[in-house]
A and B are shown apart, each in its own frame.
Chain A
Amino acid sequence: MEGRPLDECELIERAIKGDVAAYTELVRIHQHAALRVAMLVVGDPTEAEDVAQEAFVKAHRNLGRFSADRPFRPWLLAIVRNEARNRRRRTARQARLSLRVANDPVSGGAAPSPEAVLLADERRRTLLDAVDRLPDRYRMVVGCRFLLELSEAETAEVLGVPTGTVKSRTARGLDRLRDLLPADELGEAG
């Protein structure tokens, strides 16, 4: 994401001047991304909410040092990620994600058969399990790039690494993922 809507600039300016409502609007815009980054790192919904909340408070406290010519979202998400990582280090727990109950197919068109839903769910579970088994440096890049659908530049800023590193870790992460998936998972189906 390059740049941001003009009204976001204004929200930030107003928040810096002490307008709590303006900052609350920034929270509304970015809370989903913040919760997802937190969840990716800590793997526990309650803890992810704590982390995201704390990060928003810290970001607010540090708005004065936010450079207005940069995008807000990756700056915020980097704070979320730091906060989440500190939290996880204290608990020393392996972060794991889980699937929603499969009752709401995302794709449009005709409703798939119950068997197809189950099968798709099972394949997602296999893939998720493989993602969670990736070494952290690959898991974070793959998670940011594809699960959260952040751009390379945003991922780089959130993780505090150069974009070149994001590229190489993406490639290696996907390779590792293929190695972790059963051979029939990489076949023609899907």
Chain B
Amino acid sequence: MTDRLTTRLADLGRHIDWPTSDLRGPVQARLVARPAPARKPIALGATAAAVVLVAAIMTPLGREAIAEVLGVVGIEVRWSAEVPAVVPSGTLDLGREVSLGDAASSIDFPILVPRATSLPDGVFVHDRRVTTVWYPDEELPEVGDTGVGLLHVQFRASIDQDLLSKRLGPDSEYSAVTVRGVTGFWIDDAPHVVVFVDGEGNEREETIRLAGNVLLWEEDGVTHRIESVLERDRVLALAASMRTGG
């Protein structure tokens, strides 16, 4: 039966009214105006900074804006043209699932939980990193194909400990935002890879591909990262509503 269904689907595919326009002219017209890029080297390596942001920012204005913002939150910026368009992804390895109370007692900083929503559907602890997760529902669209609606990662960033690097794709847009009274960083619709670098300098890629909006800020020595596809104002409101939980 499967065979028959897949055969029928293939037949269907051949009868769909697909667009057939020739894109060569329009694309060529736009390329002539913009010279082809040169290959650029990867800029990655060990660093003593708490957080490393590896970003592919093509415009000088973007670079300066980000450097300024990240300077405020104590993040070292590195620029890299080497951002994979597609990331091999796997299961979402967030660590061990625990209760909010257990997470609070195993972590040396207060865990923030939004008051504007229900309690998280899942709380995970990995090393000194806490991740609270909300699953998608009618109000909360799924982030990419992750099965997750909203992800809030909190960890204490300190020298020679976990480094976090993020690689941003070319579609990403960036802006400085005020979040909970501090300057934060909003990445709009950003396909990116998250790379944690352990104390020995080994990079561990978080094997998941996220393509949502990201809010990043540092508060009382704790770095917070919220990922979802929600609009900026909603995420800022959510962050503003956060109180210590657990």
* A10 is an interface residue with CB less than 8 A from chain B: no
Q: Is B20's beta carbon under 8 Å from chain A?
A: yes
Contact residues in B for A57 (Cβ distance below 8 Å): 27, 30-31, 34
Does B38 belong to the interface (CB within 8 Å)?
yes
Closest Cβ neighbor of B27 among chain A residues = A56
Q: What's the Cα separation between A56 and B83 when bound, in Å?
A: 17
The reply to whether B86 and A65 contact each other, CB–CB distance below 8 Å, is no
Q: B61 in the interface, Cβ–Cβ < 8 Å? A: no
Chain B 138-169 interface mask (CB, 8 Å, partner A; 1/0): 00001011000000000000000000000001
Q: Indicate if the CB atoms of B23 and A27 lie closer than 8 Å.
A: yes
Contact assessment for B34 and A147 in the assembled complex, using a CB-CB cutoff below 8 Å:
no
Interface positions, chain B 72-86, Cβ under 8 Å from A, are: 81-86
* Distance (whole angstroms) from the CB of A79 to the closest CB of chain B: 5
Interface residues of B in 169-203 (CB under 8 A from A): 169-171, 189, 191
Segment of B4-12, B120-128, B218-226 in the binding face: B4-12
What are 26 contact pairs spanning A and B, CB under 8 A? Answer: A19-B36, A28-B24, A35-B18, A35-B23, A49-B19, A58-B170, A60-B36, A61-B170, A64-B39, A64-B40, A65-B85, A78-B85, A78-B86, A99-B16, A121-B15, A124-B8, A146-B6, A147-B10, A148-B13, A149-B13, A160-B86, A160-B89, A161-B209, A162-B90, A174-B2, A190-B8
User: What 8 A-B pairs are tightest by C-beta distance, nearest first?
Assistant: A147-B13, A146-B9, A160-B209, A78-B86, A18-B36, A45-B19, A64-B37, A64-B39
Q: Which A positions have Cβ atoms within 8 angstroms of B?
A: 15-20, 23-24, 27-28, 31-32, 34-36, 38-39, 45, 48-49, 52-53, 56-66, 74-75, 78-79, 82-83, 85-86, 89, 97-100, 102, 106, 121, 123-124, 127-128, 131, 137, 142, 146-149, 157-162, 165, 174, 177-178, 186, 190
